[in-house]
Structure 1
Amino acid sequence: MGFYQFKRSQKIPASIDEVWDFISSPANLQEITPDHMGFEITSGELPEKMYPGMIISYIVKPLMGIPMTWVTEITQVNDKSYFIDEQRVGPYKIWHHQHFIEPIEGGVLMSDIVSYQPPLGVLGSIMNSLVIRKKLEEIFDYRVEAVNKRFGTFK
């Protein structure tokens, strides 16, 4: 039963306020998620900004277009610094996603740490090696491009 971490960082040529306003708004989740994921928020009306205890439900189609429900809770928020979401219902046995931003010269460094455990024990570990890890890389590669499109490329 494997437990894994995925890390990604991106430099963004924008202010901490601009980046925080973008990443802390649930309405922007769809913009940074690949279309083929079939991502759809099903929570109904969401507030402009996330807050601790907030529950967000989605439909996603991560594999072969099969829809599944994913429910996350925003467990921690530190304004203009970080937030953490954790899966409550979904495909993983454990999903803990830390989103950090910090000012750097010329912009903001945005970093993510995703700690996760696939279901199904050894089979989940095999699936991680064959599919899951690659899917995460693909999703975060898309997000880098979407953020670059919105804010520009860091020089």
Structure 2
Amino acid sequence: MPKIELKTEIKAERKVVFDLSRSIDLHKISTEQTNEKAIAGKTSGLIGMNESVTWRAKHFGIYQNLTSKITEFDRPNYFADEMVKGAFKEFKHEHYFAESNGGTLMTDIFDYKSPFGILGKLADKMFLEKYMTELLTERNRIVKEFAESEKWKELITE
């Protein structure tokens, strides 16, 4: 079961970084390359505890739907989303936020299990883990860009 861990230093208030990380609208911006669209559940704004969203996106040339639900929520410190339905056998994406150097240290832990047994494990080693790391890194780059500028005010209000 691959586990991807990313740490991102962001020069912004923790509550701003937290809210950007749960923004459906920011997620759409950060995944333009896969043409992700929220098609069911919470489709815009800030997702919260026990809410779910279904995404439709093109990965590896194939359109796929994936539904995830917020299963743990402690603003502005932590939240987790877990796959309810989709291409993975399972996944849990944990989001941690800590005050650090006058800003926020955002830590993502994406723990997933690929389908298809040994073939899934082979896909992880060959390309899937790298692909998922790149998607999450791009998402975090966009969170940082919005949080460290005035752009965040376009998506969230205090």
Consecutive unaligned residues of structure 1, counting only runs of 5 or more, are none
The residue identity in structure 1 corresponding to 2:6 is R
* 2:58 paired residue among 53, 61, 64: 61
Provide Cα deviations, 1:104-147, integer angstroms capped at 9, x if missing partner. 12200000111111000000000001111111121123123323
Q: Which residue of 2 aligns with 1:13?
A: 11
Q: Is 14-23 or 70-79 further displaced after alignment?
A: 14-23
Provide Cα deviations, 1:17-67, integer angstroms capped at 9, x if missing partner. 22122123222211222x221211102664633222111001011112x10
Alignment check: 8 A CA contact 2:92 2:112 kept: yes
TM-score by length of 2: 0.86
Rounded to whole Å, the distance in 2 between the matches of 1:44 and 1:118 is: 24
Q: Is 41-50 or 120-129 further displaced after alignment?
A: 41-50
Aligned residues: CA RMSD: 1.8
Instruction: Quickly say closer, same or farther: Cα 1:83–1:36, change in 2 above 3 A.
Output: same
> What secondary structure sits across from 1:52 in the alignment?
coil
Rounded to whole Å, the distance in 2 between the matches of 1:125 and 1:96 is: 17
Rounded to whole Å, the distance in 2 between the matches of 1:48 and 1:143 is: 17
Q: Which residue of 2 aligns with 1:98?
A: 94
Aligned length: 149
> What secondary structure sits across from 2:40 in the alignment?
coil
Q: Which residue of 2 aligns with 1:82?
A: 78
* 1:112 paired residue among 97, 108, 112: 108
Alignment check: 8 A CA contact 1:7 1:111 kept: yes
Consecutive unaligned residues of structure 2, counting only runs of 5 or more, are 150-158
> What secondary structure sits across from 1:137 in the alignment?
helix
